[in-house]
Structure 1
Amino acid sequence: MKQQFAKAAMRLQRGFTLMELMVVVAIVGILVGIAVPTYQDSVRKSRRGQAKADLAEAAQAMERYYTMQNTYVGANLTSIGAPTKSPKDGDTAQYTISLNGAPTASAFSLQAVPSTTTGQSKDKCGTLGLTNTGVKTPNDAALKECWNLN
């Protein structure tokens, strides 16, 4: 009887088998394969949110310029204090904010182009746009989450 207990105790102290270890590695691999892309998508979404806020800030600066000059002609984002990079505080900009063409006397169009060097270009919304009338692009029904608060 003592021998049976000794054998049982030795079996408990042997450790993991290679098969058990491979199952654990496979499970961890699957979890990482799901978690990393989801995390990256969440980061891109938060950067897109900052770009939308910076586009709105640039549009406000354009409206202030129009109030003072009674035209959008001659407006330059850097000279009127509008953001040109998003996020503003980082060395590596995720979006570049610029005028989409020259502004006319009564209209302007802004765009936020995602950076190709940082991975933000993989964002499903791509280039974001905002005009003086409030038209937002992309405005495709399939991409409604680009400007909605989802």
Structure 2
Amino acid sequence: MLRTKGFTLIELMMVVAIVAILAALAYPSYTAYIARSNRAAAESFLLEVSNRQQRYLLDARSYAADLATLQMSPPAEVGRNYTITTAPKAGTTPPGFTATATPIGQQITSDSGCGTLTIDEAGTKTATGTKGVAGCW
């Protein structure tokens, strides 16, 4: 009987099928992890904006109208996935502000359960998605 060395086509196809199944299971988990990581970076930046707004209030007796006034710009990992804005609340006494992270691009669909994240001068956090504040912040 003649012995050949190597793998048969059926053995190779079984390995390819197993790898494909494992990849199909791992990919959604990976994309969810990336979305959570992007959201955590945006949350961290919003907290930094809130802290900077509080310091600005001590110096200027009002909140800054935008990030440029605070001498801030979002880091690259945040700017690729979120639009960050901050604005004072009009006509409120005492003065207030709202900092907002609005998802853009792939982050809209990959993290639809959280949506737009906001924080205000009192530290009140909100999320527009179905997961709510507890699931997003």
Give the number of aligned pairs.
131
Letter in 2 for 1:111: T
CA shift in 2, pair 1:46/1:97, >3 Å: same
Residue correspondence of structure 1 range 53-72 to structure 2 within 5 A: 53-72=44-63
RMSD: 2.5
Task: In structure 2, give the amino acid aligned to 1:145.
Answer: G
TM-score normalised by the chain length of structure 2: 0.79
Unaligned runs of 5+ in 2: none
Structure 1 stretches of 5 or more lacking a match?
1-6
Residues of 1 paired with 2:78 and 2:51: CA distance?
24
Task: Give the structure 2 partner of residue 3 of structure 1.
Answer: none
Letter in 1 for 2:100: Q
Q: Given the alignment of the two structures, is residue 79 of structure 1 paired with residue 69 of structure 2, yes or no?
A: yes
Could you state the TM-score of these two structures normalised by the residue count of structure 1? 0.73
Query: Is 1:134 the counterpart of 2:123 in the alignment?
Result: yes
Which of 18, 21, 28 lines up with 1:37 in the alignment? 28
Give the drift of 1:49. 1.0
Which protein is bigger by CA-based radius of gyration? 1
Q: Is the 8 A contact 1:129 1:137 kept in 2?
A: yes
CA distance in 2, matches of 1:125, 1:142: 6
Code of the residue aligned with 2:83 in structure 1: it is: T
Question: How far off its partner does 1:76 sit?
Answer: 2.3
| In structure 2, distance between residues paired with 1:133 and 1:31 | 46
The alpha-carbon distance between structure 1 residues 97 and 82, as it changes in their structure 2 partners (threshold 3 A), is: same
